[in-house]
Structure 1
């Protein structure tokens, strides 16, 4: 059994590590965790770009990832950490994912379904790596959060030089035209540049979390700049690129997510959030989609929502998506197939046949098209379990993390109503990383005496503030 290095205790009320006289970088070293991260890094190119590798090499890469589970069992004593969402996740990957590949037409299976499946397999192993280790030690959780934010910054910086920007806001357009684009055409499947709306949806996984952490630490621990400055700089970079994307859906999601983080800390604000959510759900069931589409067709001017698709075009796509779900309710149309099948079965009238719509421009509709209604239900259960976990984190008193993660979840849900970072897309791994962090935070409440020091006696608090240590457990006892 490999024992991680014991570390000084961080203040549980601070979402970031707190430096002190006993701080040393080795306290963040954990051999079981870093070996699994190395395996993920080595196999990512193979599963993300399968066209460049032989079938045997792809199978070997999957075998390496599977070997990581044996390594985990050997070193920390578990195959994986149990979460409230185990059943829907395993149902989605073990049952509906093979069906989604089988349901795809032959040519589209090779072009879309299989490559996306390989990416999802990698995402599956990433999820369990984060969940299994981030809940063991607070240092590992902080590393996972830092990596989450760092990847967001990396994507934002790369996007500055490889995105085909739209010109929805006249003030921003001339500035974007001056940016060099050395990465234009580098990304496979986006030879004309990254889609700004997909970019915005990707950044939205990270930005609300960074804003919450930077804001909290700046307000409450301003003198300890190492706690808030990195998150603040990262949030500024990502926020700038989000604004440059001019994605109204993402900007709306960011606004609603930020408002949720603020309102949830106010008693009447929580009731307001609940009422708003119920109103949205009621509105979705009452508003007739066909009538709304007809009214938009007669409108003289329909503003763009994103890219070259108008709101009218999106509603037409949504109506075709509903037709597809009605015709293929149990199996879906095949993973990634809707973008091609739609013009064969349900021709679009306001969108040119040679225009690649990419997806249903609604994450939940796209989920039903890819995995059928059972897959959509599994996703909804995953969201509900994440919401319940955030609520439990709030109840135990860790309101900073609960507010931050709620803000991300709300922001992404709002964005996903009008766009999608589809399952199996190259940046969809951030979806699974986010949910892994949510469930990892939930695991920290399993043994509050060792992972939550908010109940320390005054004498213990004085000792801890002077740099005393209290051992972290190397593992958490599996539950459920």
Structure 2
């Protein structure tokens, strides 16, 4: 009986390179819930992260094949289109252009002003480069013309939808991160033209932000978040986050407690009361929620993820290795977009879709393991 159970569920016991920081993050999440001054608020805010950590555990241990990884990549492209449709229907304060399909307009009537444009743009900055990577990747061999067309048409449609919503969101932080992510995919895919690509990306980013003066950069890169009084207001919020890290170094505040605690213990003077739900910086927000141990664990897991993807996308040669390299490059660029967006925002951390980056980061482990398997197989031949 035990042997049967082990054969069926043995994959759950597999080890991964990111186990240590992962388990530390899980531990700090439990600690953050235990010490939270507002338990009900933290319980309502923690479930996307709990779901993300659970997905990370399952994805990193599931026995993936190359075909399954390809379908997983396609699923992320489909998620891009779904997020674009739901996002444009639920972004508050956005006037829909006349060319938007009627089905989206009707969906908006049901959703109302549900989503902040910065939040939608943050997730699209992650998913658009991943979808673009799928679009330019070599097509897998499929049975039937219809299935083959699916791999070409569907990524193109979802990419266009994601880009359109990214532009309509008016989030320059999201646009900048998305553009740099797409440029990263191109630079990795065609390294011989990396300098022109990066130059074009830098020019595009400069055009998007319309200048980089110190007095305007905070306001420019956070369109859609007008409650922050430019760079000075953002610096003030960062200072409050640093105070929290000093006072609650080992435990953090707990999920969802930044705004009420800041109002009571570290009041803001440049922003209206009740308008700043997070630290407007991804790494600072992780530290505020989980303390310095949680921040170290997050940075370690992020670093391991990028290292695994870099190892996987460096391989060239056979068709299988090229496919793995393309998928790894797409995920690398998408996760890079999250970090770029996180310099001036924490929109992808404390919202209902916070599980999405965890699921994407988890894909780095099976990609790396499949890369090793294929490499060993080629070397043996």
CA contact (8 A) 2:124 2:178 kept: no
Offset of residue 395 of structure 1: 3.2
Offset of residue 250 of structure 1: 0.7
Q: Is 1:123 paired with 2:49?
A: no
Deviations 1:347-372 (A, max 9, x none): 1112111x332211111110000000
SS class of match (1:305): coil
Alignment of 1:34-433 (within 5 A): 73-75=6-8, 77-93=10-26, 95-105=27-37, 108-111=38-41, 113-133=42-62, 135-165=63-93, 180=105, 182-183=107-108, 186=111, 192-217=113-138, 225-264=149-188, 265-266=190-191, 269=194, 296=215, 303=220, 305-310=223-228, 311-312=230-231, 313-353=233-273, 355-397=274-316, 398=322, 399-423=325-349, 425-433=351-359
Offset of residue 225 of structure 1: 3.9
**Distance of 1:217 and 1:140 partners within structure 2:** 16
Instruction: Determine the structure 2 residue equivalent to 1:446.
Output: 372
**Distance of 2:296 and 2:55 partners within structure 1:** 22
TM-score normalised by structure 1 residue count: 0.64
Unaligned runs of 5+ in 2: 202-212, 317-321
CA contact (8 A) 2:185 2:333 kept: yes
Higher gyration radius (CA) = 1
SS class of match (2:223): strand
CA contact (8 A) 1:166 1:246 kept: no
Instruction: Determine the structure 1 residue equivalent to 2:209.
Output: none
CA contact (8 A) 2:56 2:362 kept: yes
Q: How many residues align?
A: 348
Q: Is 1:435 paired with 2:361?
A: yes
Instruction: Determine the structure 2 residue equivalent to 1:50.
Output: none
**Distance of 2:348 and 2:331 partners within structure 1:** 21
Deviations 1:206-236 (A, max 9, x none): 1101101202348xx9x96443222111111
Unaligned runs of 5+ in 1: 2-69, 277-291, 458-480
**Distance of 2:295 and 2:123 partners within structure 1:** 21
**Distance of 2:24 and 2:238 partners within structure 1:** 26
Relative to total residues, which structure has the larger helix share, 1 or 2?
2
TM-score normalised by structure 2 residue count: 0.80
Alignment RMSD: 3.5
CA contact (8 A) 2:173 2:223 kept: yes
**Distance of 1:435 and 1:263 partners within structure 2:** 21
Offset of residue 382 of structure 1: 0.8
Deviations 1:102-159 (A, max 9, x none): 2221xx2112x112333333222212222222x5322322232222222232222122
Deviations 1:10-65 (A, max 9, x none): xxxxxxxxxxxxxxxxxxxxxxxxxxxxxxxxxxxxxxxxxxxxxxxxxxxxxxxx
Offset of residue 266 of structure 1: 2.2
**Distance of 2:290 and 2:5 partners within structure 1:** 30
- With over 3 angstroms needed to count, the CA separation of the structure-2 counterparts of 1:245 and 1:71, relative to structure 1, is farther
CA contact (8 A) 2:116 2:224 kept: no
